[in-house]
Structure 1
Amino acid sequence: MLVAKDTTANSRSTVGRWPDEHLTMHLEAFNAETGEFRARGTRKADAVAQRDSRKYKPLFDYLSMQTAASLLLPLSSIEEIVGWLPDGAATSQFWANTQYHLSRRSAWLDAGYHAFYDAGRRSVRFERVATPNNPSSSGWTDDELEACVGAYRQLWTAQQKGTKLNKSALRREILATALSARNHSAYERRMQNISAVLAAMNLEWVKGYAPLDNMGAVRSRVDRMVTQTWREVPRLHIVTRKGDVRSAFRKWQAAILEAAQYDRKIGWLPDEQIAVASYGDAPDGELHEKATLGVDPFGRDWSVQINIPSDPKTENGSSAVARDELGRLYMIRQGTLHENNQSARVDEIDFRDLSGMTPADVRLKGEAAHRLWFIVTPITDYADEMRRNTARFVKICAALRVPEGVDRAQAKADAAEIMDRFGRDEEGGSSTFWSQGGSRTMRKRHGEVWQALKEILKTADKDLRKPIPARGYDTDGEIDGEDGGILVEIKTGFSAVDVYAGTGQLLLYSKMLARLDGHRKILLLPRKPQAVLCEALEQVGIELHFFDVADDNDWSSATFSRSFLDRCGVP
């Protein structure tokens, strides 16, 4: 491998073998800031260049279709575009931006990009080259990004209030002022980027701007601006009553202790692969005020403490209990990890940036929290869920103690999984809608069927839960069936539209929440749809079951097919 250490030296005599085994080259000049260099060389076979040109053309086609100023593509993603990459692709030289050799480089140079290899991420960052004829290719300024965030906030607020705001007129206004150097596509993509940040925060995004996560070099700035702008949206409120806090902590501790196998003071959770111990003088097998957790089964290196706060009315404690707007409780913790024998102190900013986790929007006594808080787990009646979520958080903390071991993508996926929570039960009854022509009353048929199913399951000591995947989409229900988990969607019609909707929900939700992926997928309908739809459902692995309603005015009287009840384990 050839490395240019002195960019001012005369390097005509420098010769090296490059990742392309057919090329011997002389380095003539090198720019350390841009990665550009000038070189001359000879090949063993001209046919190699032709083969390279054909092989990397799909990458040129892909980049030519992009409008972003910056793209970060893992090597695995590039292999999906062009096919197998040689070992040399994991070097900076392979992605150098010289125009004098290696025809593969035209794949990004001719598309208007420079390439820079990121060894830490095993990824390639493509930065659009700014030219006088292409001002929109230059990097985004803070003023431009803030204009987009401000415009998006106007649209978001209007959507929350149910009022209309002319999206096209707003876009024209922004493009004529703050974004005068940008085009329509650049503005639209940036708005989609903002949707992606809101989705990660579990907030509703503006309709028409589907989340687009590929932000490149501006990601950290967009994250910061969006987080600051949406801070006033209340999400979690720190619980300040000591009795309520202790009760929630004891429930969480009970879930941990239920699965812990103790050897003296160290408890090991074999399924979750984490260790726990009481920090203090608690008897073996108990957790009092302070719990310390880690991934070392012998307790030699601890990753994080989760302690009952002595004064829950302040942010002085590193852990807390918070309540959302629906009254659900969460265990939350600040991002700061104190120095120990394994690592130096990790502050909350490093925690956020290295882990990829999005801080929760936390309030204390009505005011925005001064510190960054992260969700450990919802506090529910499901001990296994609390243990699994806690384990994910502990493993993120353990990785941050050894920064070179951090897998940001995996940490972010784990953080999203921690956000799994349970929604409200469906409601039956009726709703009255008012319009210019008067009022009309509609039955909540879906809610009545849902309630009927929940009551039947109770007779077999089973529950119908409503898991909400991390992006906030609401599933109908999860059931612990006779031979494994069941994901169910209920439709009160049996038309093609009902089948399409139910099928899409079952397939997507099982991917959006990883633990649902292995569940049996069941669509519940009042009648059998067309034969062609039944065949299609069978082909995609969705079971079709039915319910019956004797009184059209009372869907809470719904009864369910014996085959479905057998699946659920209801005698």
Structure 2
Amino acid sequence: MGWWNEDAGERFWLELTDREDIGVDLRAPVSNSAGRADWRYALFREASAGDVVFHYDGKADAITSLSTIAGPAFEQPIVWAARGSYARERGAQPVEVPGYAIPLRDHQQLPEPVTLERLRAAKSDLVAMTEMIQARHPRSALYFPFELSDRPVRPLQGYAFKLPADFVAFFKMGAGESDPALLTISSDRKVVAPLYRRWREALLDGAVRSDGLWTQPGERFVFRNQENRTATRLGNLTALGVDPSGQDWAVQINEAKIAGDLDTTSAIAFDGKGRAFLLRQGRLSSNAISPRPILYKEFERLTGLKPAHVVNGNTAIARDWYIVTPLDVGPEEIRLHTALFIDSCASARSLVGRDGSEREIALAAEINAEDEAGGFYTMRSRPALPERQLRRLQGEVWLAMARQLRAAGLQVSKPRHAAGYEVDAEISGGAHQVLVEIKSGASANDVHTGVGQLLLYPALLPRLAGHRRILLLPKLPKPALLKALGECDISVCAYRISVKAKGVNVQFSTEFLELCGA
């Protein structure tokens, strides 16, 4: 029935009444005085438990309070008299009629009532709001509660109406501390520009620059200027990814030339408490990893993320927005949130680019389903400094390997998936396809972990089942362990790494290069 069914943020309703016991329940007849079904009475049956009902008190000519729906509708006789002008003309009296009721809870007064005077002053905004919603849903009735004609704004005749989330946000009608935030995109450049700078400064904090890239190995992502790779200052257009070579980008986050321009895929938004967030639309253009675009519903399905509700985030085309990071936290938390969003985008691209099977996609969705609620990300544990150093060294090994193998004409990729697992390297172009797991240590724990990963990947991703498997360590383990690994069909190769003042030098064994096809 409703245009709101596909949007989880559209959960607001309006009771138009002059009853004395507002907030006890919702109740209405099952039919009108002519004995016919009438949406003006029946519409609340479309609501769900947990939805919010605002109450327009006809005696005060204002929306004065709100309640939460506590359960489903149930039928019961009610005492009812229609109260519209037509009913008054025919002298309608209260009578018992077949009806239904819906229980309510948590009735509370609005901090500032939305008076009829305020509604009339905002008429042009209400007209624009309803026209925008109607443009997105041209075949649906809006069930909007107020008349927007040549006359002054006034309530329509009826009892049950749908109140758009845009309306709730416009009038700043608080819907309870436990409710998900409604976000509003800012079009004030004086506000937006410093917040984008804060995000870029957080990325640069502790980053290392090399070959036109900035790296954050502790968070396992790289980034650069999209317009000018040689620039030493991070500009308004930023490309971010998980490929340490910077060849394959997962997502671009660009500051719009005109703040609030919805045709740019990034934005700054605020919640009702004034918290700022960096947003990104749920669409990715095609690139070398994903040969076709990934658009809204597919983005949600492949990443497992849930869009935030942005009250002014649509044009005539509906656009889903996702929170990249809150901006009222420290630089490290901004980077961690950003890294998680980059991971999700890279995972979606990997599934599309490799024609991910339905099993892969279903697994990704199943694992990610518990991770997100309303667009906020669970923070990872903060890595200790030694771990960051090890990851930095591991990243250097990956870069050196990728450069050498690509120079030999091989393809080196780093598949990442929404289910939360990652392959260090997939190498193709030689006689055999190869999986490589890189470890920065050679302890028993490093070997056991690496072997487990190499055995697990083909089980999770059947397309990897025929790949050769190589465990790459800084030194070879003992002969007995080497023999056991060989019986598991896993080759073990060594690399040598030296850290000097001028940089890091990595050398690979001839056996490793030959196994990869170089």
Superposition TM-score tier, normalisation by shorter sequence: 0.3 to 0.5
Give the TM-score of the pair, scaled to structure 2: 0.39
Give the TM-score of the pair, scaled to structure 1: 0.35
- Higher RCO (CA-CA < 8 Å; seq separation 6+): 2
In terms of fraction of residues, the more strand-rich structure is: 2
